[in-house]
């Protein structure tokens, strides 16, 4: 019974029978991002998950930040196509930023191919660069 209910919930979230059509970016967010970043985008400081408000848009407004976003663990490990990643990241930006540029599939593909050996270090560098410009970001829990 539990499996039937889960399949029904996934069918509703996808807007129809699974595989019959693509999920909406919001449904993709719910299934792939909200578990860590929460439905309100606030993340979890004790869990090491940064909040989206007052951060993701500033990060996405920088070249290095756009590459960083494509290498955060949830994006890197998602079983999504580059087009789906662009759509869900655009949903996040539309929801928690003020006009950051949208991603398209080609940019996602290009930026995912750029090596980022240490994503925590990359974020620290971006935060430092933005702080020098007077742009503070939400608290980042990693040392």
- Structural domain span for residue 69: 23-132
**Residue 138 in domain:** no
The number of distinct structural domains making up the chain is 1
**Residue 141 in domain:** no
**Residue 6 in domain:** no
**Residue 11 in domain:** no
**Residue 17 in domain:** no
**Residue 100 in domain:** yes
Average pLDDT, the chain: 85
Q: pLDDT for 60-69, tens place per residue?
A: 999 999 999 9
pLDDT by position in tens, the chain (length 143)? 444 434 434 444 444 444 445 789 899 888 888 888 999 999 988 888 989 998 999 999 999 999 999 999 889 888 999 999 999 999 999 999 988 999 999 999 999 999 999 999 999 999 999 999 999 888 877 76
DSSP codes, 81-135: -HHHHHHHHHHHHHHHSSSPPPP-HHHHHHHHTS--S-HHHHHHHHHHHHHHTT-
**Residue 7 in domain:** no
Q: pLDDT for 79-107, tens place per residue?
A: 999 999 999 999 999 999 988 999 999 99
CATH number for position 65:
1.10.760.10
**Residue 101 in domain:** yes
């Amino acid at each position: 019974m539990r499996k039937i209910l889960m399949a029904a919930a996934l069918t509703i979230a996808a807007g129809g029978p699974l595989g019959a059509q693509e999920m909406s970016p919001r449904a993709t967010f719910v299934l792939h991002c909200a578990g860590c970043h929460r439905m309100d985008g606030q993340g979890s400081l004790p869990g090491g998950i940064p909040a989206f408000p007052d951060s993701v848009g500033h990060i996405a407004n920088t070249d290095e930040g756009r590459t960083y976003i494509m290498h955060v663990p949830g994006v890197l490990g998602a079983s999504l196509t580059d087009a789906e990643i662009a759509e869900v990241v655009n949903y996040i930006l539309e929801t928690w930023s003020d006009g950051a540029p949208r991603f398209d599939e080609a940019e996602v593909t290009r930026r995912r191919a750029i090596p980022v050996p240490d994503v925590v270090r990359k974020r620290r560098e971006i935060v430092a660069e933005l702080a020098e410009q007077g742009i503070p970001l939400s608290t980042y829990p990693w040392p």
